[in-house]
Copies of this chain bind each other. A is one copy, B any other.
Amino acid sequence: MNKFEEKTIHSQEIFNGKIIKLQVDEVKLPNGKMAKREIVKHPGAVGIIPITSDGKILMVEQFRKPLERSLLEIPAGKLEQGEEPDITAARELEEETGFRANQLDYLTSFYTAPGFSDEVIHLYIATDLEKVENPLPGDEDEFVDLLEVDLESAATFVDEKRIYDAKTAYAVLYLQMKKVLG
């Protein structure tokens, strides 16, 4: 797991923000030479695939400032400090959709951008959903639209690039696979 390890000689913090930190590490390469690594530290996140009783996926549409456009995504959110991912998953599901899941199953995890960031996403499948009367409020600065999407429409939205992020693309492919397997 440490093949070609790069030893940190010096680490400089460039930015410490609300969500991310940026540091530049000076590292010693396996051949003894030096190089710089630009590293974005992120607390990690969860993504939830909520499936309704009639087999639709609950998705949220929101504006993504880095892209200057909105995307249709599975509900997601970052881990609060010290929070276990399954707690984050339940919380974000309720905040973003107004639903609670009686069944929440861990699916998989992956690093999103290992070349420059340590962000990891933990994916969950939420089923046996129940509408909450007074759901947890979402973040003050977050505006989302809730949509019920069937698998066929999801495939179309992927083609149209309305669904266009890694976790949601993975989720759609995973559900297609499940359907093929019956």
Q: Which A residues have a C-beta under 8 Å from some C-beta of B?
A: 1-6, 14-15, 17-20, 22, 24-25, 27, 29-31, 33, 35-42, 45, 61-67, 69-71, 73, 76, 78, 108-119, 121, 140-141, 143-145, 158, 161-162, 164-167, 169-170, 173-174, 176-177, 180-181
Bound CA span A16–B177, Å: 41
Residue of B nearest to A71 (CB): B114
A114 touches B2 (CB 8 A): no
B63 touches A38 (CB 8 A): no
Shortest beta-carbon contacts, A-B, top 4: A35-B141, A166-B166, A4-B143, A4-B63
A158 touching B111 in the complex, CB below 8 Å, given contacts A22-B14, A42-B116, A173-B170: no
Number of copies: 2
The interface residues of chain B lying within 8 Å CB-to-CB of A143 are: 4, 29-31
Q: Within the complex, what minimum Cβ distance (angstroms) separates A55 from chain B?
A: 19
Residue of B nearest to A19 (CB): B38
Q: Within the complex, what minimum Cβ distance (angstroms) separates A8 from chain B?
A: 8
A2 touching B69 in the complex, CB below 8 Å, given contacts A29-B141, A110-B164: yes
A78 touches B115 (CB 8 A): yes
B64 touches A115 (CB 8 A): yes
Bound CA span A124–B142, Å: 34
Bound CA span A110–B71, Å: 11
Given contacts A20-B40, A116-B119, 5 further A-B contacts (CB under 8 A): A4-B63, A19-B115, A22-B22, A66-B117, A112-B166
Q: Within the complex, what minimum Cβ distance (angstroms) separates A3 from chain B?
A: 4
The interface residues of chain B lying within 8 Å CB-to-CB of A30 are: 143
Bound CA span A24–B4, Å: 34
